[in-house]
Structures are given as structure tokens and as C-alpha cells.
Amino acid sequence: MIAKAAKGRGFRGALEYDLREDKGHIIDSNMAGQHPRELAAEFGEIRKLRPNLGKAVLHVSLAAAPGEHLTDEQWRQIGQRYLRGMGFQDNQFVITRHTDTEHEHIHILANRITHGGAVVSDAHDYRRQETLMREIERDFGLQRVAPSLEAERRAPTKGEIEAQVRTGQPSTRQQLQQLCEGAAQGCRSFTEYQERLEAAGVELVPVVQLGGAKLSGLSYRLDGVTMKGSDLGKAYSPAGLAKRGVAYEQDRDLAAVRRSIERDAARAVGEPDRGRATVQAPERGGAGRDAGAAGPGDGRLGGRDAADADRDRPQEPGAGRAVQPADRDGRRELEVRRPGSADGRRSPEPGRGADGVAALRPGRDDGADYSGARERILALAGPADRAEPAGPESGRRVPETRRDRSLEALERQVAALGVERFEVGLREAKTGQTMHRAWSRADLVQSAAWLKRMNAQGHDVYIRPAGEHGLVLVDDLKPQALERMKAAGFAPAATLETSPGHYQAWVKLADQPLSDEVRLMAAQGLAEQYGGDLNRADPHRYGRLAGFTNQKPEHTRDDGRQPYVLAHDCPGQVATAAPAYLERIEQALEAAERAHRQERQAQRGRERDGPGRGR
């Protein structure tokens, strides 16, 4: 049996809902009224005893599992059991049974103010309600629902659901669940699990006992918010992870656990992690937001760019209204020190991967492979610079820093384009909704972590130079066409493989800005000459951003993963054939302008002469 309880301010609206004739009927009440108006007046009289109480209404629904059937008397007994168990022995109430859905359920509307003017305590009401439901299931022989603490994956709360509807962003709980699911897939040790999550921007806070022999508790920290494993679900606790093959073994995993403990101890005293001795494990404890940490909330889903509003371009993200960049809202700094940093400054948070997203293996050429079988979160997010004590005083080897292939690819592309400001579009593959960012080159690099997270959550990532520039994009090219372009002097400044065998080429025609008219004609001419997509040849076209996955369903690989957008040749040079090409375009535009002027003059002459004249 499932119970949902809500506190509110108004009795009348709840009564109107509960007592609709097409829904059900009253099965128990201690009030004289029979209709919403009468009952609301009665509730109001008792409410006057506590005029300053904001939420005097308790509205509860109790639902049986589909296929379970109870009589009105049994439902009445269950309703009474609930009221007594929650402390409503001396309160007004109405119990109605609804028959408008496939699963039987009742609604309880009660006054939180007693007849004597006291207010029923709501302390730990969720926990007490859950215990009461399990007792009712047992006593009435109903299907047992697993307690929330036993659930493999805790469901989002009402507040989390409302916040997601309002902002379009999942809650921290949902993000952590998704990231943990991805990290656990194919994982065979706690150390590997921890490394994957740290690479995705999630810090683990382990609790050990018996000198490290037993991992007794586990919390997760994301964007400064710490949640216990039990807050996420049974599957994310040490015992739940062990059942999935992510087991903790002292000899193998204690070093990783110690790193987390040392990092947390350093956080507590406000010092960077360097050369600290192992400290005692933290106590199992509460969750909360670290002081000064910024919360999530990087943008909203919104409309399309005005220039693209009349075109159906499923691959293009479009653009909505500008939103503050991620490095100002919703980003934090990961509390680790990059190796080689003399001043111990924090480096920006690495991005986070997700379930079902494969990754490029660190250390390979961009074109070598589209995914790694093991590091589905690790490479997507970038490396986690371990906060392991190192240096002469510790006697430990300085760990090698993993290469962040995604960030390297991004930096290669933006360096080749050679402009200082960019517009970034994020398009959710499933819904087509888009969001838009306007960033400097430095902002873009610093925001790579957030872009990785959005990509892992199903958004395609696109980019175009902002303002005036001398670049054009030629889309949907084949390898042979690229070779012909190079041979003709149109070697791209940046070449991207957006999916296997499909390429985009950013051709730099000039270092100085060119007009939209010139860039439009240039893009159309190159697309026509080399077999690109003419429908996508325009001066404001978005291109893919290297280092991120192509989320379009038609490009899903046989193994269920999405291909990465790869940065190939990125010399960043002006095409050698560009000056002559621009001269021809200018001549063509001038000729078109002359022809247009002549046509206008001829038209004015015809209008001046009038019908029948000049013959």
C-alpha cells in the first residue's frame, strides 16, 4: 500500500476534489456536513482556534496495488488505523473512497488542529507513515511495498519532481543515481568505482571500521551537496554495490579509501591535500551542502534562434535567449590540487558522465577509436586528478595525470577557429529542446565540465563563432571530398568527424571579418562544389563541438553507444585559395548589384512611361 500525504492551507478545494460524484463517496466521517460548503465551514470553525497556523489541512491518499480489492468497511478500518497511528485521535476528518482508477484508493482529509486547539505534530511524519503502511499491509494481507530505505533506487520526492518540471534540470539525487549507475556497469572493484565517479565530479565519502577491514557506509558529494548511499537507494550502499560486483577488499581498495578520507579531512580544516598522514575515518552522519558551494541550475530549455525559427533542422540546436554561463552559476571547484601546482589552487570541476555513454580511451589518437569498453564515465568526464599525497616528504610516486581527451579535442577546435567569442547550443536529442550560451574562448574551456555533464544527459553540443568572422562551415562531407578540397587550396582550418564517415569542415577564408552576404555565397559555393549539404550552407550555421558524443539515434552504434565527434586536422590556417575565391565572390556580388540597379531603373522607367507608351 502506498501513502501520499500533503499539508495545505485550504479545505474547500480538497473537499471539492474528494467529493466529486463521479469519483467516489464518503465512507467515514465525524462531521455533520455532507457537502463541500458545509464541511468547509465546519473545518473553519476549529481552524479559528489557531489562526496563525498556515497549513492546517492534511490531505492523504492511500492506494492498494492493482488487483487488490477491499470492502468499504476494510477501507474504513484502514483509514481509522492511519488517523490513530499519525496522532489524529481528536481531529475532524472525512474519509472518501474513489473508484475512478484501476487501483482502489481512499482520501483522508483531516484538520491538523484538534478540538482542544492543539496541533498534531508532523515530526518524522514520513518515517512514521511508512512504518504504519507496512503494518497495515501485514495485518490486511496486502501486497508488501519495499520501504524506501530498502528500495534499490529511491524515487524522487514531490519537491524534486516539481523543481525538475520548473527548471528542466534533474535533482542532485537523480544526477547521482544516474552517474552511479554508469560507474557501476562493468566495474569490478571499489577503487575503480571511486575513480570513475571522481572523474565525473563526484566525491565519495567512505566510512570504514575495524582499521579499514570493513566498508560500513558511503556518502556521495556532488556540487557541494552530500547524500548518503541510503538516500539514493539500497543499490548505492556498500552492501548493494557488493551484490553488483563492486566489492570492497581491504588489500586492494584501502589506498583509494584513504585518499578520500584525507581529502575530506583537508576540506574540514580548509587546507589543500598534500603530504598528510592518514586520519581516522569520518563518522557516519548527515548530509548537507558544503559552506559556500554553488548549487546546480545551469540554464533552462528554451526556444530557437530567430534566424532558424522557420527551418526544420533536426541536427542544429537552434538558439534561445542568453543564459548566464555555467562557470558563474551552478559550477564549483573540485577540492583537489592538480599535480605540479605550486600554489595548491583548485582546478575546475571535471564533467560528469552517465549511464550508457562510452568514452574515448585516454592516450589514444582522436581518430583511433570511438569508445572505451571500460571507462564510459571516466574519459567523458576527463581525468580525476587524484589528491594522493605525493612528494619527497611522503615517499610516494607522483601519479600520472590522465589525459582528458574531450578537453584536448575541444581546445584543438577552438584554437583552430581562432576567434575569441563563441555561441554554444545544446539540443536535447529526445525532445529537440535547446538552450544557448554565449561565451568567451576562456569561458568555453572552463565550462567544458558542465558541457560534458549535459552531453552525458542526452544533449548534443554545437558551436559557432559569435559576431563577425571569416569562417564558413561545410557540412556532411565525405573523405574523398575533403581530399579534393585540400588539393584545390581549400584545406579546412578544422576538420571534424561527426559520425563514422561524415565530416564537417570549417574553412577560414580570411583573418578579418567578412559580411554575411559573402560568407553565405562562399558556403553555398563550397557545398555545391564538394558535395556538402546545401540546405545547411549559411553564415550562421552551428557545427559540432569536438570531444562530445553525437546523440542522434540514427548514429547509435551496434554496442548501444554513441560515437564521439573527433577533431582531425586542425591547422587553423587561412585557405590558400581563399583570396582568389573571395575576389570572384566580390565580383559576382558587384555584378548582381549592377544587374539589380539596372532592373530597378528599368522598372521605374516603365512605371513613369505608363501603359502603351514607348511603342
Asked if residue 579 has pLDDT above 90, the reply is: yes
Look at residue 402 in the predicted model and tell me its pLDDT.
58
What values do phi and psi take at 102, rounded to 5?
Answer: -70, -20
> Which structural domains are found in the chain, ordered by start?
2-145 (3.30.930.30), 170-283+331-388 (no CATH), 298-325+404-576 (3.30.70.1790)
Q: What are phi and psi of 523, to 5 degrees?
A: -65, -40
Mean pLDDT of the chain: 77
Instruction: Inform me whether the pLDDT recorded for 2 exceeds 80.
Output: yes
12 burial type by CB count under 10 A (0-12 exposed, 13-18 middle, 19+ buried): middle
Burial category of 137 from C-beta neighbours within 10 Å (exposed 0-12, middle 13-18, buried 19 and up): middle
Q: Fill in the DSSP letter of residue 297.
A: -
Cβ partners under 8 Å of residue 571, min gap 6: 416, 491, 493
pLDDT at position 15: 92
Predicted confidence at residue 327, as pLDDT, reads 41
Phi then psi for residue 559, to 5 deg, are -85, 10
Q: What is the pLDDT of residue 150?
A: 56
Residue 285 exposure: Cα atoms within 13 Å on the Cβ side: 5
DSSP 378: H
Between 477 and 354, whose confidence is greater?
Answer: 477
Q: 380-404: per-residue pLDDT in tens?
A: 433 334 333 444 444 444 444 456 8
Q: Report the alpha-carbon distance of residue 133 to residue 411 in Å, rounded.
A: 56
Single pTM value for the model: 0.41
**d(C-alpha 567, C-alpha 546), whole Å:** 6
Q: List residues bridging with 29 in a β-sheet.
A: 94
**According to the per-residue pLDDT averaged within each range, which of 24-28, 78-82, 125-129, 278-282 is highest?**
78-82
Mean pLDDT value across residues 270-283: 38
Per-residue model confidence as pLDDT tens digits over 289-305: 333 333 333 333 333 33
Q: Which position has the grid cell 487488490?
A: 68
pLDDT band at 23 (very low <50, low <70, confident <90, very high): confident
CB atoms < 10 A from the CB of 583, how many? Answer: 10
Confidence of residue 22 (pLDDT cuts 50, 70, 90): confident
How many whole angstroms separate alpha carbon 24 and alpha carbon 99? Answer: 6
Indicate whether 24 pLDDT > 70. Answer: yes
Alpha helices in 105-200 (DSSP H): 125-139, 158-167, 172-184, 190-199
Q: Which residue has the higher pLDDT, 264 or 577?
A: 577
Hey, how many other C-beta atoms are within 10 angstroms of the C-beta on 121? 11
List the one residue out of 166, 153, 250 whose CA is nearest residue 210. 250
pLDDT of residue 267: 61
What pLDDT, on the 0 to 100 scale, is given for residue 148? 56
pLDDT of residue 591: 87
Report whether 33 contacts 138 (CB < 8 A). Answer: no
Q: What is the pLDDT of residues 446-461, one digit of tens each?
A: 888 889 888 988 899 9
φ, ψ of residue 179 to 5 degrees: the values are -65, -40
Band of residue 124 on the pLDDT scale cut at 50, 70, 90: confident
Total Cβ atoms within 10 A of residue 234:
20
Higher pLDDT, 194 or 293: 194
For residue 413, what is its C-alpha cell? 577546435
SS3 for 44?
Answer: helix
Show Cβ contacts of residue 373 under 8 Å, excluding neighbours closer than 6 positions.
Answer: 186, 358
CA-based torsion, 222, 184, 256, 363: positive or negative: negative
